[in-house]
Structure 1
Amino acid sequence: MDIITSSITSIATSPVVPFDRSSVLWVLIVGIIMAFLLGAGLGANDVSNTFGTSVGSGVVTIVQAYILASIFITLGAVLVGWSVTDTMRKGVVDVTEYYSDPHELMLGQVAILAGTAGWLAITTFCGMPVSTTHAMVGSTLGFSLVLRGTEGVNWSEIYRIIGSWFLSPALSGLISGVLYLFVDIAVLRRNHPFECGLRSLPALYFFVIAFNVLMVTWDGSKLLHFDLIPFWGAALISIAIGSIAALLVQFVLKPRLWRKIQASTAVDFDGVRTSSFKTVELHTTSENSECDSEQDLLNRMRCFFKVLLPNMERIDDAKTIQLFAWIQIFTACFAGFAIGANDVSNAIAPVATLVAVYKDQNARQEAEVPIYVLLFGVLAICFGLWTLGYRIIGTVGSRVSHINPASGFTIEFGAAMTTLIASKMGLPISTTQCLIGSVVVVGSLTKGGEGVQWVVFRNIVITWISTLPAAG
């Protein structure tokens, strides 16, 4: 026991190990290669899933989807992603524990990349859904526990991150559910849903674009000096840009969509059982009369929810569903921006640490994440998307007929909005988790209990729980 105690004391009081760049150059090179491969895997899977529905709808081609994804992922990574990268490289692990030996911190980053890639390979081979974010945090936690024990971990940050993993799918589901109810009440159940859908476009685009601009400009990137913009300034900029977008939609996009959809033939979406472009009349008078005649409080509440919630037997108008298929292009771009803000940051966080330690020859990491490191992550993800993404896009696209574009729009929107909020807070959450939370809520609203495959959901939850310790 005395020997162990004296050894620990000698390590703690040992002088700072001289930093020799030549001896760790191989670590930097190996880390960059592994991070590139990990980023390529993210691009082939996560990004392809985002644009798969739009490609499957026939709204955009695969090449167009690749171009849009590349643009918005780059914007998300550069404008918002830096905050998540800072959390991953300095928040989970107490970097002060490695001031005396930066070499260990560099080796730890390679271990993080290896652990994450290894767990992803195992789960992919087994056909299990997995979160890269969970694996990255688990690997980071594992290497620190091995080298420094519990003293080298910022447990408060770990609890904050894990808590966000449970909160994020719930928040995403709530946003998507509320949005779907709004779409259902304002558009789908109306006597003339196509016209109502067109009228709602300017307001929708205003909200989404203004929200994105606010997330970018308010307490934004220090690299681009957006952090100097006060909140009121960011709000004014957001409102102005959102208003311009709404005007463009009103006077440019709406007329084009009207002509294109009116001139097109009926599109055969699964779940849209109308054989031609005709308005489906919704007869709800009897339900309202029944509710008016009810005196009992419980019956009134039952009738209220019966009117509020979507009619599961309703036949949706084909032109309206086609309109939402076009809107999905916009939400897919929004989701690509969110992926750039969150997933790119997860992939390049170890590289950011490696570059910082190698460049500064210490483990302090006081400088901001360089833009070229963020762009490296974007390059890796786009490489995976352009080379292997067609496989995933083809799979998702073939299943798009099982998803109503109206509900798919609300699912993508809620997940992207939640991911962007978390990225702004510096929380490395899973975009897959957010999507699943939205799918569960919207699926329950549209089809009741039968709208959710609960066995699959159970397996996904088990994977969420097991990923953190397994990757670590």
Structure 2
Amino acid sequence: MLYSDIQIITVSIRKLHHTKMEMLVTTIATIASSVTEGTVTEFRSQVLWALVVGVILAFILGFAMGANDVANAFGTSVGSGVIDLKWAYILATIFETLGALLVGYNVTDTMRRGVVDVKLFDHQPKVLFLGQLAILGGCSAWLLIATFAHLPVSTTHSITGATVGFGLVAMGGKGIHWMKIVSIIASWFVSPVLSGLVSSILYIIVDFSVLRRSNPFLSGLIALPIFYWFCIAFNVFAVSYQGSKLLHLSSVPLWLSITTSCVIATICAIAIHFIVVPYLKKSVEKQVNGHKERDIKCGIKREKSTAVTSISKVQELDEVISTSGIIQDIAVLSSSSDSGRNGTSLTHQTTFDVNDHDYQTASPQRDSTDIRIEQRGATVVDVSHHSLSRKEDSAVSLNMKSAIKALKRFTRWFLPARNRTPDDKTLKVFSSIQVFTACFAGFAHGANDVSNAIAPLTALLAIYMHMDVEQKGETPIYVLLYGVFAICVGLIVLGKKVILTVGTKMSKINAASGFTIEFGAALTALLASKAGLPVSTTHSLVGSVVFVGIVKSRQGVDWRIFRNIALSWMVTLPVSGLISAGIMFILKFFV
């Protein structure tokens, strides 16, 4: 009896203790929750003004980005005359939005985390919050300056420089990932060179397969479905592999992405071959025939004046020939050729190279020392060592000259002809695909750069709502749409300035070269973003314009403009950093 009573008392004490512990834990949690809510509420009241300013600055940054970066993406299409400014604005709006939502949705805050260690601000969320204002202000200010100066610069690098400037003032350089900065500086050279090489190779392929053919229009129609296949396959792959969490594409395996891309591209290429190509052929031929009829009507009126001009030119040429003694030379050559037919062969024959306007001998050149020795014949009994060495040197020199000439001939054959002008029919074939690659370039830009531009605004919202410096939540869709809207407004208002620089001033671009420039730059930018390499879309596009201009005509680049652009790239990081550091200094000590 006593034992059972003791057990009952013990159980009662344990229950009472457990109940008190639960009450204590609940009380502590309630107090902590109320303290946290009170802290968050107090924090929000302190920084509400900064959030409003941040939203405005984010719009200005998007505006400046649209005026500069997006203008790069569509500059070559406008410069080649494939689309006008109105269609550039429409297509940019659509495909920038799609790129940001379908691919860029995952990578919104990678730039901020990659440059500065945000964990250092766990106990100083307000400092990080104000730092986003400094980043937005520094980046948008530099982009607007560059846009008014007609200079295409990188938004990604501007964001990076502004982040470094804020970090130096806030933490004295502590927590800045300097190797990331080094890799970005290296990308100043890697981005344009890599993209330029890709676009140059593509242009040479287009030149061999289409432009230098005897019937380039027909060759272009045959190659068109193949070009579309590559563009569509890569576009689908970029969307499906490591794609948007919004569409549940982030976990799609690599093999499935490749298979899906190839199947969709093949179906589209077949449709283009049987539907688009016949329509395009009929449309272009009809348009060209209409132009020919109009030219014939206009040409009849010019025939009389042209004939008179031609007769006068022939008379002038006759006088020049007679006075310069060319007729006598022709007579000598004629008699020499007659003697050649009778058994006496000509010792030297000259052929002309039309491409270089210089002449090369058809028969092998002979060293002067050899000629002198042969002329002397049997009288030459002894040859000095000095003469032999001179003969050997001459032979080596002759071999070097032959090798250099062979290399020049190969280069002339391999590279596109300098003065070749593609006919209008062929360019219209490439016009159809350049519209597609322009959309592809806009899509790549939306995927690669829009996310970085809105990263500071995303950080502002995360810190304001939950005091979360690491931003563990997803980027709200409305933030992406807000950024895209600001970008499109900037393109429409100020985009023409940079479009003219990239599309017309730096190099002469037609539909064929524009296709390879846009596709090569977009290919490089998207592959680099998938691989995590810090490649700038702006640098890629400018590099492609320069490289293709060199390959196409060897002198087709305005180096003065390119020099200014390259200098603007180099000062982007420090200038945006200085502006951001100045803003952060003011906020830190006066707010």
TM over 0.5: yes
- Residue 222 (structure 2) pairs with residue 199 (structure 1): yes
**Is the contact made by 1:99 and 1:363 (CA closer than 8 Å) also made in structure 2?**
yes
Deviates more, 1:355-364 or 1:387-396: 387-396
Counterpart among 178, 191, 196 of residue 201 in structure 2: 178
Contact 2:244 2:250 in 1 (8 A): yes
Distance 1:377 1:424, change over 3 A: farther
- Map of 2:469 onto structure 1: 363
TM-score by length of 1: 0.85
* Alignment equivalent of 2:434, drawn from 323, 328, 331: 328
Q: 1:150 & 1:401 partners in 2: Cα distance?
A: 41
Name the amino acid aligned to 2:469.
A
Match of 2:456 in 1: 350
Residue number among 528, 538, 542 corresponding to 1:436 in the alignment = 542
Letter in 2 for 1:253: V
Q: Does structure 2 conserve the Cα–Cα contact (< 8 Å) formed by 1:218 and 1:234?
A: yes
Q: 1:413 aligns with which of 505, 509, 519?
A: 519
Matches for 1:24-43 after TM superposition, within 5 Å = 24-43=47-66
Change beyond 3 A, Cα 1:247–1:127: closer
Matches within 5 A, 1:229-268: 229-265=252-288
**Displacement of 1:266 after TM fit?**
8.4
Gaps of 5+ in 1: 1-15, 269-274, 277-282
Aligned in 2, Cα 1:60/1:461: closer, same or farther, shift over 3 Å? closer
1:315 aligns to what SS in structure 2? coil
- The count of residues paired between Structure 1 and Structure 2 equals 443
Change (3 A) 1:126 1:60: closer
| Distance of aligned partners of 1:149 and 1:83 in 2 relative to their CA distance in 1, 3 Å threshold | farther
Q: Secondary structure at the match of 1:335?
A: helix
Q: Following the alignment from structure 2 to structure 1, what is the Cα–Cα distance between the partners of residues 148 and 266?
A: 48
| Higher deviation after alignment, 207-216 or 422-431 | 422-431
Query: Is 1:84–1:428's contact at 8 Å kept on the other side of the alignment?
Result: no
Q: Which amino acid aligns with 1:447?
A: S
Amino acid at match of 1:322: K
Shift of the 167–390 alpha-carbon distance from structure 1 to 2, 3 Å rule, reads: closer
Equivalent runs, 1:370-385 vs 2, <5 Å: 370-385=476-491
Measured after TM superposition, the shift of residue 265 of structure 1 is: 3.8
TM-fit CA distance, 1:363 = 0.7
Q: Distance in 2 between matches of 1:76 and 1:345?
A: 10
Is the alpha carbon distance of 1:227 and 1:430 closer, same or farther for their aligned partners in structure 2, counting shifts above 3 Å? same
Q: CA RMSD in A?
A: 3.3
Matched AA of 1:136: I
1:102 to 125, 142, 146: 125
Selected match of 2:238 from 189, 209, 215: 215
> In 2, Cα distance between the equivalents of 1:124 and 1:401?
19
When structure 1 is superposed on structure 2, of 314-323 and 72-81 the one drifting more is: 314-323
Is 1:456–2:561 an aligned residue pair? Answer: yes
Q: Choose 172-181 or 295-304, whichever is displaced more.
A: 295-304
C-alpha distance in structure 1 between counterparts of 2:521 and 2:564, whole Å:
20
Please give the secondary structure, in 1, of the residue aligned with 2:255.
Answer: helix
Go from structure 1 to structure 2 and tell me whether the alpha carbon gap of 1:21 and 1:425 turns closer, same or farther (over 3 Å shift): farther
8 Å CA contact 2:54–2:133 kept in 1: the answer is yes
Partner of 1:146: 169
Q: So what's the TM-score if we normalise by structure 2?
A: 0.68
Aligned-residue offset at 1:314: 2.3
Task: After superposition, give the CA deviation of every residue in 1:166-198 in whole Å (9 maximum; x if it has no partner).
Answer: 211111101100000000000000000001111
Could you say what secondary structure the match of 2:473 adopts? coil
Q: Which runs of 5+ in 2 are unaligned?
A: 1-35, 292-297, 300-353, 365-397, 578-591
Aligned to 1:188: 211
Q: Is the 8 A contact 1:87 1:426 kept in 2?
A: no
Q: Determine if contact 1:83/1:424 at 8 Å carries over to the other structure.
A: no
Give the Cα–Cα distance (whole angstroms) in 1 for the partners of residues 193 and 137 of structure 2.
31
Deviation of 1:396 (Å):
7.1
Whether contact under 8 Å (2:502, 2:542) holds in the other structure is: no
Q: C-alpha separation between the residues in 1 aligned to 2:48 and 2:560?
A: 48
Counterpart position of 1:466: 571
Letter in 2 for 1:163: A
What is the aligned-residue identity percentage?
52
User: 1:148: Cα distance to partner?
Assistant: 1.0
CA contact (8 A) 2:64 2:490 kept: yes
CA contact (8 A) 1:56 1:400 kept: no
Secondary structure of 1:28's partner?
helix
- Alpha carbons 2:148, 2:497 under 8 Å: kept: no
**1:119 and 2:142 are equivalent in the alignment:** yes
For 1:360, give the aligned amino acid: H
Per-residue CA shift, 1:208-236, capped at 9, x if unaligned?
Answer: 11111112211222343212111111111
Secondary structure of the residue aligned to 1:150 is coil
User: What residue in structure 2 maps to residue 9 of structure 1?
Assistant: none
Per the alignment, in what secondary structure is the counterpart of residue 243 of structure 2? coil
The 8 Å contact of residues 86 and 426 in structure 1, kept in 2 or not, is answered as: no
**1:424 and 2:530 correspond:** yes
Q: Deviations over 1:142-176 (max 9, x none)?
A: 10111112222122322233323321111110110
Per-residue deviation, 1:345: 1.6
Q: 1:10 — aligned with what? A: none
Distance in 1 (alpha carbons) for counterparts of 2:289 and 2:48: 60
AA of the residue aligned to 2:59: F
Q: How far, CA to CA, are the matches of 1:92 and 1:26 in structure 2? A: 26
Please state how far the C-alpha of 1:306 moved relative to its aligned partner. 2.1
Query: Which letter maps to 1:182?
Result: I
Could you tell me which residue of structure 2 aligns to residue 338 of structure 1?
Answer: 444
- Going from structure 1 to structure 2, the CA distance change for 1:139 and 1:397 (only over 3 Å counts) comes to closer
Paired with 1:456 and 1:171, the residues of 2 have a C-alpha distance of 20
CA contact (8 A) 1:53 1:400 kept: no
Q: CA deviation at 1:368?
A: 2.8
Counterpart AA for 2:417: N
Aligned to 1:169: 192
CA distance in structure 2 between the aligned counterparts of 1:250 and 1:290, rounded to whole angstroms:
48
CA separation in 1, counterparts of 2:77 and 2:152? 22
The DSSP-based 3-state class of the residue aligned with 2:126 is: helix
Q: Name the amino acid aligned to 2:568.
A: T
Pick one of 393, 407, 412 that aligns with 1:306. 412
- Does residue 155 (structure 1) correspond to residue 178 (structure 2)? The answer is yes
- Pair 1:131-2:131 in alignment: no
Q: Is the contact made by 2:97 and 2:484 (CA closer than 8 Å) also made in structure 1?
A: yes
Report whether the alignment pairs 1:66 with 2:89.
Answer: yes
Larger radius of gyration: 2
Helix, strand or coil for the counterpart of 1:368?
coil
